[in-house]
Structures are given as C-alpha cells and as structure tokens.
Structure 1
C-alpha cells in the first residue's frame, strides 16, 4: 500500500521539524533580513514536498523534490554563514547541519526510488 497523503512521508515530517528548529534558533536574531531568508527557505522544504506530492505525477513530484533539496542547501549555506557571523554557536550549527544532511539524503533517496 502506497503513501496516500504527504503528511505520511517521514521526510515531510522531518522537514517540518527542521523548520521549527530553525525558527526557534533564530527567534531573537536582530538581523531581520537574515532571519527572514533562512526561515522562508526552511519552510520551503516541506512546502515543496507537499506541493509536489499533490501534483500526482512522478515527474512533477521529482521536480518539486529537487526544489526542496535546493531550499535545504540554501538553509545549510546560511547556517555556515550564521556560525561565521556568530549568530549561533558551533554546536547548534552542527546539530542543524546534521538535520539538514539527513533530510537531503532522504529527499535524494525518494527521488531515486521514483526514477
């Protein structure tokens, strides 16, 4: 039996958790443009998984999964920058990057399974 709803996808669930963690880590950030950009990119991951899933064709879903992966890469890049700017501790950045890398592997695996 296949997945019937995007909410049942573990990668979507983990992407939602990741966005919540990003929001929580940057809540007090005074660099509002940075906070806005990383927050929007983190939300884009799960949103693109959901939108692609509901397109109901594998090629469309795969295209949106690649967009989700790109948003995830954007967040990861900004996390490295946040460490250099001393917005977050190295320990927090490492935890978030590990979470991001896990999501990337899951998205890539899903793409490969659909080809």
Structure 2
C-alpha cells in the first residue's frame, strides 16, 4: 500500500489544503504561518512514516503527525477565540483534527504491537 492510498493521509491533505485556502484572510502573519505549518506537518509526517525502514521509525513519524494534530487543535481554538476563524470553520476543523488524531492513535497502537 502507498501512503497516497490511505484515507488518513487523504483526510490530512484535505484539512491542510482547507487551512491554506482560508489562511489568506488571516492578517497576523505569525499565526498564519504557525497554523499552516502545523496543518502541513500532519500529512507530511504520515507520508514520511511510509518511507522509513523500520516499524519503530514508522511509528515515530506517525507520532509526530499525531502531535502536530494536538498543536493544530490548540491553534484552531486560539484562532477562534481571537476572531481569526469563524465558528463554523473552527468547528469543522476541530472535528476533523480530532478524528485524524484518533485514527493516528489507533494506527500507532497497532504498530507498537509489532515493535
């Protein structure tokens, strides 16, 4: 299986794409840079995990992806609280981020059984 075929990678790419499309309206460059980087990190680390040689390395990069999900979740909440994100956008992104990190957690748990 290729990472491009994985639903989790496709969902993470979709979320990152949405963040990039929306972020052009955010005037605070520091926040915009941080939220796009966190969003981009999730699918990037999922892809990198598939290019690793060992299960341990693969799991490590999936863990990075999951951690970036936590970072992104926090930034979405802050973005909503300070008025950078409208409620509907924030709600949708929070839901998708939570789903992605939950799936990554299950994948990590399963991979660790083989380690």
Give the TM-score, by structure 1 length: 0.93
Q: Report the Cα offset of residue 28 of structure 1.
A: 1.4
Give structure 2 stretches of 5+ with no counterpart.
Answer: none
How many residues are aligned here?
112
In the alignment, structure 1 segments of 5+ residues that lack a partner are none
| Aligned 1:9-20 pairs, distance under 5 A | 9-20=6-17
Partner residue in 2 for 1:51? 48
| Residue among 12, 19, 24 paired with 1:22 | 19
Q: How much does 1:110 deviate?
A: 0.9
In the alignment, the residues of structure 2 paired with residue 108 and residue 88 of structure 1 have an alpha-carbon distance, to the nearest angstrom, of 27
Give the match's secondary structure for 1:82. Answer: helix
Tell me if the contact between 1:49 and 1:64 (Cα under 8 Å) persists in the aligned partners: yes
- 1:34 aligned residue: 31
CA RMSD of aligned residues (A): 0.9
Determine which of 92, 98, 105 is the counterpart of 1:108.
Answer: 105
Matching residue of 2:90: 93
TM-score of the pair, normalised by structure 2:
0.93
**C-alpha distance in structure 2 between counterparts of 1:81 and 1:48, whole Å:** 24
